[in-house]
Amino acid sequence: MPFLRNVPGLETVYRDFAPKGVRFRIVYKSIVHPGTNGMVEAYTLEERLQHLEIARARLKTTVPWLCDSMNNEIQHALDAAPNGEFVIDGEGKILRKKFWHDPTQLRAFLTDLVGPLEKPTKVADLGMKLEFPEQPVQRGIVPPLKMTERMRVLRTAPKQPAERPDPQPFFAKLLAEGNRGLLREGKGKLYIGFYVDPLYGVHWNNPAGGLQWEITKPGDSAFEMVRGAAPKYEHDTDVDPREFLVDFAGDKGDVFELTVHYTVCDDAETFCLEVSQRYSLKLEVDPDGGSRAGDWMTRLCGDPMQFDENGDGKVTRDELPAERAQIILNHADRNHDDVITKSEADLFHDMIRIKPGETGR
């Protein structure tokens, strides 16, 4: 799956080399940065296929897509990186494997492989623009939880009650993370976050009360239950995550049960539901769990506009710190002109759920 910024470049390569017999596929797999743009990990293949359709509609690329299995079999078989790139010949031999897809380098490789083009397609010829739909419910009201250290995503799994013949969707999905102390020494910080899944068009019903959760350890009567509850907010509705950071202890590989209670209403205000759902939670790093973009990207890039030395409202490559220039441009420069405008900087921060000027996570 290519990074968003590189999709237009990939589209030009596809349009030029597909007629020469090169077959292209974008593989949709587990989410690399859960929580970005409100998107969270799918629990079912049906949900993942819906994610794929949303991504295809927003990116507006004509490159064919494939959906990985819920076990991420394609990703594991290729030992793929989050934004990896592969060129495979007709015999199944991998001719090119890159950790980070780069359309310019891919074009050069394919030119050497199949021959040059008379008139290569340029990104400017496409008129592609990444657009996100307006949110029907307010976002950005509840401040994000401030984090001071790196957290690793833990293995979790939804548990449907056996007695329910019509499984209820997990309208809000769990993201659990542990810090180094918890994962190595068995005692440290546990992050618990619940993210409203935009697939279902619902929002928190704040007048009904705040979300509540508890963690138990089945079969261990000595384990002291851990609880958490969100405050009752004054505003009626929002779709911001409900986040908690608690002290926790356990041995590596221990399995716990987390139960959550919340109330949601659909955006059309035709129903409200009281929901209770369960998860298994294992003190073990999930290798497919990804990482939240804001955790490291904001610390690395900050607000790009802070580097506007001449005050002209834009940031050029030579104004950026040399050691970070390329990665900042990779994430914030939307039209590939080596210049970051105020609107591009705002979009960058909106995508990682952090507004310009905030420290973030």
**138 Cβ contact list (under 8 Å, min separation 6):** 235, 237, 238, 239
Q: By three-state DSSP, how is residue 56 classified?
A: helix
What pLDDT score does 361 carry?
36
Do 273 and 326 fall into the same domain?
no
Query: What CATH number is associated with residue 308?
Result: 1.10.238
Q: Would you report the helix, strand and coil content of the chain in percent, each value rounded to 5?
A: 30, 25, 45
Structure tokens at 96: 């090119």
User: Parallel, antiparallel, or unpaired for β 272-285 and 255-266?
Assistant: antiparallel
pLDDT digits over 78-127, tens only?
Answer: 887 777 899 999 999 999 988 778 898 999 999 999 999 999 999 989 98
Give kind and range of the element (H or E) at residue 285. Answer: strand 272-285
Query: What CATH number is associated with residue 113?
Result: 3.40.30.10
Do 309 and 222 fall into the same domain?
no
The range of the structural domain enclosing residue 343 comes to 293-351
Percent of the chain with pLDDT over 90: 57
Q: Would you list the DSSP string of 299-330?
A: HHH--GGGG-TT-SSEEEGGGS-TTTHHHHHH
Do 318 and 340 fall into the same domain?
yes
Residue 358 is assigned to a structural domain of this protein: no
Q: Quick one: pLDDT band at residue 321, thresholds 50, 70, 90?
A: confident
Distance CA 349, CA 151 (A): 20
Query: Are the C-beta atoms of residues 113 and 88 closer than 8 Å to each other?
Result: no
Do 175 and 74 fall into the same domain?
no
Residue 336 is assigned to a structural domain of this protein: yes
Q: By three-state DSSP, how is residue 17 classified?
A: helix
Picking from 125, 140, 170, the residue at the C-terminal end of a domain is 125
**What Cα–Cα distance (Å) separates residue 212 from each residue in 224, 227, 228, 244?**
17, 8, 6, 11
Do 24 and 118 fall into the same domain?
yes
Q: Which long-range contacts (CB under 8 A, 24 or more apart) does 87-92 make?
A: 87/113
Residue 344 is assigned to a structural domain of this protein: yes
Query: Which residue blocks in the chain are alpha helix, DSSP H?
Result: 7-17, 45-59, 73-78, 103-114, 180-185, 293-301, 325-332, 342-351
Q: By three-state DSSP, how is residue 202 classified?
A: strand
Structure tokens at 12: 């030009």
Distance CA 81, CA 190 (A): 26
**What Cα–Cα distance (Å) separates residue 153 from each residue in 76, 100, 282?**
18, 22, 10
**186 Cβ contact list (under 8 Å, min separation 6):** 249, 250, 251, 252, 283
What pLDDT score does 34 carry?
75
| Mean pLDDT on 59-66 | 93
Do 25 and 67 fall into the same domain?
yes
Do 32 and 61 fall into the same domain?
yes
Query: Are the C-beta atoms of residues 236 and 203 closer than 8 Å to each other?
Result: no
What does the mean pLDDT of the chain come to? 86
**311 Cβ contact list (under 8 Å, min separation 6):** none
Picking from 285, 313, 331, the residue at the C-terminal end of a domain is 285
Do 267 and 304 fall into the same domain?
no
Burial category of 247 from C-beta neighbours within 10 Å (exposed 0-12, middle 13-18, buried 19 and up): exposed
Do 255 and 222 fall into the same domain?
yes
Query: What CATH number is associated with residue 198?
Result: 2.60.40
Residue that the structure tokens 């949709």 belong to: 28
Is 299 a residue whose pLDDT tops 70? no
Residue 307 is assigned to a structural domain of this protein: yes
What pLDDT score does 1 carry?
55
Burial category of 336 from C-beta neighbours within 10 Å (exposed 0-12, middle 13-18, buried 19 and up): middle
Total domains, the chain: 3
Distance CA 293, CA 237 (A): 25
Do 183 and 299 fall into the same domain?
no
Residue 121 is assigned to a structural domain of this protein: yes
Picking from 261, 285, 309, the residue at the C-terminal end of a domain is 285
Is 283 a residue whose pLDDT tops 90? yes
Residue 147 is assigned to a structural domain of this protein: no
Is 136 a residue whose pLDDT tops 90? no
Would you tell me how many other CB atoms lie within 10 Å of the CB of residue 302? 17
Residues 330, 334, 339, CA angle at the centre, nearest 5°? 80
Residue 207 is assigned to a structural domain of this protein: yes
Q: Quick one: pLDDT band at residue 360, thresholds 50, 70, 90?
A: very low
Do 267 and 307 fall into the same domain?
no
Do 236 and 276 fall into the same domain?
yes
Residue 22 is assigned to a structural domain of this protein: yes
What pLDDT score does 328 carry?
82
